[in-house]
């Protein structure tokens, strides 16, 4: 690969970055707040690639032997393989398989006072992270008797043979640090396939008194793994997943 080739490779990488942002596919890899940094990086790669190619072309016209000085092993073109695979295979977000390999996420309980839930007609739309956070740490039990609307994927779990678990992954930066937030439904009206996106109206089931997680003062867990239980009041299948499949603790 010569200097001209390296410039072309940088341009292609930049175009792929811009395509990931434009199509929204980047959300399967990183948090939504990375949209603009990724777009800026793509523009910079394209700019540097153009400069590299123009410089190589000018240098080549002035010195025909310069191509040999800028040459590199042709094996460098193998760097294109991950790009080709990325564009040929549609990326998917973390799903049921990943959820089965990780312990349920436990919010850190740093918040001392939870905001009062709005006095509006239920159900109240809420992030799965906030639902789990309130279920674990809110001393006022603000979720009790309220109907909450959650969005997540279906995960069939052997612990709940007559129901299933709604999962949403919490990420700080990218899918590599994703951990599942779990809301379990002991009873469900029908079986759903793993990784089906649903919007569910639920009512929190307070944990039995005297049950504690293996972290001090965190209630309710099964075999040291956090599951928040709720009654599934109704649900609908989402034809398309949300733009951001992940949630952030922040």
pLDDT tens-digit readout, 123-147? 999 999 999 988 888 878 889 899 9
In this prediction, residue 73 carries a pLDDT of 54
Residues of the chain under the 70 pLDDT cut? 1-2, 27, 60-80, 82-92, 108-112, 208-224, 250
In this prediction, residue 249 carries a pLDDT of 75
In this prediction, residue 70 carries a pLDDT of 45
The DSSP element (H or E) to which 246 belongs, if any, is strand 246-247
| Beta-strand relationship, 124-125 and 197-204 | unpaired
Domain match, 242 and 144 both: yes
* Distance (Å, whole) CA 227 – CA 218: 11
Look at residues 91, 112, 144 and tell me which one is the last residue of a structural domain.
91
- For the chain, the residue count is 250
Count other Cβ atoms within 10 Å, centred on residue 3: 20
In this prediction, residue 233 carries a pLDDT of 95
In this prediction, residue 152 carries a pLDDT of 95
Domain match, 238 and 119 both: yes
Domain enclosing residue 119, as ranges: 97-247
Domain match, 187 and 73 both: no
Looking at the 3D structure of the chain, how many domains does it have?
2
Domain match, 181 and 75 both: no
In this prediction, residue 56 carries a pLDDT of 77
Domain match, 167 and 49 both: no
In this prediction, residue 216 carries a pLDDT of 46
Domain match, 142 and 238 both: yes
Task: Say which DSSP state 222 is in.
Answer: B
Domain match, 81 and 186 both: no
In this prediction, residue 215 carries a pLDDT of 46
Burial grade of 207 (CB within 10 A; 0-12, 13-18, 19 or more): middle
Domain match, 28 and 74 both: yes
The DSSP element (H or E) to which 228 belongs, if any, is strand 228-237
Look at residues 61, 91, 121 and tell me which one is the last residue of a structural domain.
91
Domain match, 83 and 129 both: no
In this prediction, residue 214 carries a pLDDT of 43
Look at residues 70, 91, 112 and tell me which one is the last residue of a structural domain.
91
Domain match, 228 and 159 both: yes
**Cis status of the peptide bond prior to 225, with omega within 30 of 0:** no
Domain match, 82 and 104 both: no
Domain match, 59 and 39 both: yes
């Amino acid at each position: 690969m010569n200097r001209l080739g390296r410039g072309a490779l940088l341009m292609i990488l930049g175009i792929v970055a811009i395509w990931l942002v434009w199509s929204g596919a980047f959300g399967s890899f990183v948090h939504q707040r990375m949209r603009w940094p990724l777009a800026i990086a793509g523009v910079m790669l394209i700019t540097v690639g153009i400069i590299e190619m123009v410089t190589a072309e000018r240098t080549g016209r002035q010195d025909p032997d310069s191509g040999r000085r800028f040459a590199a092993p042709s094996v460098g073109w193998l760097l294109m393989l991950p790009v080709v695979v990325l564009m040929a295979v549609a990326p998917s977000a973390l799903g049921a398989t990943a959820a089965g390999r990780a312990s349920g996420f436990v919010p850190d309980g740093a918040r001392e006072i939870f905001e009062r839930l709005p006095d509006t007609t239920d159900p109240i739309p809420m992030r799965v992270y906030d639902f789990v956070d309130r279920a674990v740490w809110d001393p006022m039990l603000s979720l009790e008797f309220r109907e909450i609307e959650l969005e997540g994927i279906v995960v069939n779990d052997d612990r709940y043979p007559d129901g299933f678990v709604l999962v949403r992954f919490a990420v700080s930066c990218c899918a590599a640090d994703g951990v599942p937030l779990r809301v379990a439904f002991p009873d469900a009206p029908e079986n759903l396939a793993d990784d089906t996106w649903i919007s569910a109206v639920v009512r929190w089931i307070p944990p039995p008194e005297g049950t504690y997680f293996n972290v001090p003062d965190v209630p309710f867990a099964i075999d040291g793994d956090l599951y928040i239980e709720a009654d599934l009041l109704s649900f609908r299948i989402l034809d398309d997943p949300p733009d951001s499949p992940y949630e952030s603790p922040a």
